[in-house]
Structure 1
């Protein structure tokens, strides 16, 4: 790594108020070996350029009610911004429009035993009457899948109660439907991991009774308050709207072995979504612009900015479902980038060793690059809730990186990466405070470099993922094959 690049990282770290990733004593962070295109692209994707895109997303949000949520003018303006940049750069660009069941909380209130408890509405929940619904708190017994079977509600009278059900084991809609059949008039879902919880009832027609979610800590506290009076009040706007996904592909490279890189462009209704997922979108956009529409690559590169992630991950499944099997075969891999600059950043890489063949190679590519840059990583499950799930579901190799959202950074992680132990990776996740002041620009720089490096490397060759060699290697194999055939013919 050049001295100027090391100094740039140090200055950014000081400005962000975080520590640099630890490098073993006597070791020096260096650029790993790789294709020249990967080296050039990683150098050309800069923090300044990405920050300009983030400023654009922030101003779009500020001009549109403080949000870039799907089905709102803020998201449409975000789509137009990305679409305009990619079109001007010469990419083949299309948009895919699809229906979205829009859901926005106007009132969210939970009072237990006279005490207010922070709660978020479950997606697609029905409204309560004005003033709310009131009943005793009924705690559904804990097991491996609480509330997932009608038998979980046997042995107690849930008529007129508000049921407290721990997350896990089955969809929220199923738990809520079982509670309603048992006589409950409302449901409070309690998280089973650190962080607050919204819950998703899948669709308005599956939502039977008013429901919302609380954090792990509040859920544990509520379990001790069984029988106390609960008032739940929800006023929700539910209506059908549309959203759009932006798809841009290079004009060069094989179109039957495409490298796809993507992330979601929308925010929650509550805020601008600058870390989640403005950072992933900004890095994707700048990587595309610096790669250019007609790069010298062996494999085409497709950049996708999905819509409607925040309403239950709709855009990416819709996109994959509308591909034929042959079109799916044309995709060599999918690389996912969701929240890559959390303010208390970790460096997580999807554990492709458990995924479709080739996913382990993608994981190693990210780990090798970041490790060479002096940034240690940790694996996370490949089935994390994000846009890669749709590609995983049809067997496409996947991978990606992100910097953590809910959950607190451990002492060991703080020692390894800097930052603050005991604090969420992103305390503003899905909140109004997820704005321009909520990102770590050191993490943005490092992860965008990794994104550019890995994307460009696979644009040259996907041989390690699916056995497809680069053009020069294919020509060499054909030449050797012809020579062998001539030799065999001469020997007859």
Structure 2
């Protein structure tokens, strides 16, 4: 999963109208007032029971082994990613699928050496990367010595968003801005156009700002904690900073892996995805080995059941950690007809967090940070919520903010949902009552670190979220009516004792 950042604005987007029921489709079957879902045949074991935590753990052990023998990670463009991809392809082929690779080019951004941000006047104080600041993804390289700071409308929600805010900006100064209503790339470009030597953006929430300035910046760009940002804003006339950023941008190639069920309607496809790559810092067994292992085992088990009503497309995305590249490139490659064939998208990005919660992606957009969910996304959320409730388990909405691979599908007007066990948020006392764990600690303290290993996976989280996820896949593989208005093509057998008011048996 990528670090949180506003990204492209989704609020106010106009999702394309999804396909509606066509003539000749059969009516919805209701049983005791409940939408028909689950196994197509009553004698089949539900997918939620066939996809076991033990099988997922075996996949995770294999992914962990692959990473440990290949440089300690599975990042895109590394041997670890290639071997992990071969593992996924091998398991899919053995289950009867014909996996294929979707290849693409992308601009790979890397920090070549640690970034320096240091106060040099009125006294010296080096700030710590990862604690006080982070280099924004796709920041340019650059060096600033004894730089003066100029706050840019930091008392407004649109700090740095309007070129006129830089009307009297002194060339060569450092622009200090506050996170707000526009994309970071827009702020940084406005600063560069005004002659700024660097851009500093501090968070409007109580955490370190980790962001991106895609598709790239002309000047160094750093994200700060709100405490450091406010300190710099308050003392801007007195402070001087040194900044040193060393990054590179190269054109590289990578790929995602996809596989379709042989059966099921070709024009009502349920896409189930997880990103296969890790960050370079570690093996990424929760982020996102857990989601990939779950999707893989779901594909293996679904292949052993009768053909679903709807085709299911399993996707293992590449280069998610470098900007959601694989999923974005895949969606961009589809023409209008092929996009319209996709009924919905389900995303599974981290389901084994050490200090976990049960988060259902917020398709109803109930949370302040959620936005842009196409119609039908709330119905996906309800399917997962209802399953958790049936197991006596609490679940909560998870912010639908654009930080994972569902973004491209939502922007294409495709209903989207999924599950998430938590990353860089902090668990409350009430959440400890619901899930167990430790109050005041991160949901995943090993997120994006070398310690994201199998030993730090919470298998209770894997078991609970994979059961709910498998239920959702199976439900929607049979019937997407509440999401996009399409009912199954197969005629259900309904044996009732009356025809209208008259008894027939």
Give the TM-score range, shorter chain: 0.7 to 0.9
The Cα RMSD (Å) is: 2.6
Could you say if the C-alpha distance between residues 383 and 198 of structure 1 is closer, same or farther in structure 2, counting changes exceeding 3 Å?
Answer: closer
**Which of 50, 64, 69 is equivalent to 2:75?**
69
Q: Which residue of 1 aligns with 2:276?
A: 265
Q: Which residue of 2 aligns with 1:125?
A: 139
Distance in 1 between residues matched to 2:452 and 2:151, nearest whole Å: 34
Task: Tell me if 1:436 matches 2:454.
Answer: yes
**Post-superposition offset of 1:249:** 0.8
Task: Tell me if 1:108 matches 2:96.
Answer: no
Distance in 2 between residues matched to 1:430 and 1:134, nearest whole Å: 32
Q: Gapped runs of 5+ residues in structure 2?
A: 1-34, 366-372, 495-505
Could you say if the C-alpha distance between residues 361 and 114 of structure 1 is closer, same or farther in structure 2, counting changes exceeding 3 Å?
Answer: same
**Post-superposition offset of 1:428:** 2.6
**Which of 452, 461, 465 is equivalent to 2:479?**
461
Q: Gapped runs of 5+ residues in structure 1?
A: 1-31, 477-492
What's the secondary structure of 2:292's corresponding residue? Answer: helix
Distance in 2 between residues matched to 1:170 and 1:181, nearest whole Å: 16
Could you say if the C-alpha distance between residues 62 and 231 of structure 1 is closer, same or farther in structure 2, counting changes exceeding 3 Å?
Answer: farther
After superposition, the C-alpha distances for 1:241-287 in whole angstroms (9 at most, x for unaligned) are 11111001111111111111112111222222222111111111111
Q: Is the 8 A contact 1:90 1:293 kept in 2?
A: no
**Post-superposition offset of 1:234:** 1.8
Q: Which residue of 2 aligns with 1:12?
A: none
Distance in 2 between residues matched to 1:453 and 1:425, nearest whole Å: 24
Q: Which residue of 1 aligns with 2:179?
A: 167
Could you say if the C-alpha distance between residues 229 and 60 of structure 1 is closer, same or farther in structure 2, counting changes exceeding 3 Å?
Answer: farther
Task: Tell me if 1:52 matches 2:65.
Answer: no
**Post-superposition offset of 1:369:** 0.4
Counting only pairs closer than 5 Å after superposition, residues 36-435 of structure 1 correspond to structure 2 as 36=39, 40-105=46-111, 106-112=113-119, 113-118=124-129, 119-129=133-143, 133-142=145-154, 143-155=156-168, 157-204=169-216, 207-226=217-236, 227-292=238-303, 295-354=306-365, 355-435=373-453
After superposition, the C-alpha distances for 1:366-390 in whole angstroms (9 at most, x for unaligned) are 0000111122111234344221111
Distance in 2 between residues matched to 1:403 and 1:281, nearest whole Å: 14
Distance in 1 between residues matched to 2:232 and 2:46, nearest whole Å: 55
What's the secondary structure of 1:353's corresponding residue? Answer: coil
Distance in 1 between residues matched to 2:37 and 2:265, nearest whole Å: 20
Distance in 2 between residues matched to 1:158 and 1:48, nearest whole Å: 61
What's the secondary structure of 2:49's corresponding residue? Answer: helix
What's the secondary structure of 2:321's corresponding residue? Answer: coil
The alignment of Structure 1 onto Structure 2 pairs a total of residues equal to: 443
Structure with the higher helix share, 1 or 2: 1
Q: Is the 8 A contact 1:276 1:429 kept in 2?
A: yes
Q: Is the 8 A contact 1:272 1:434 kept in 2?
A: yes
**Post-superposition offset of 1:57:** 2.2
Q: Tell me the TM-score normalised to structure 1 length.
A: 0.84
Range with greater deviation from structure 2 (141-150 or 94-103): 141-150
What's the secondary structure of 1:290's corresponding residue? Answer: helix
Distance in 1 between residues matched to 2:299 and 2:434, nearest whole Å: 31
Could you say if the C-alpha distance between residues 396 and 141 of structure 1 is closer, same or farther in structure 2, counting changes exceeding 3 Å?
Answer: same
What's the secondary structure of 1:352's corresponding residue? Answer: coil
**Post-superposition offset of 1:475:** 8.2
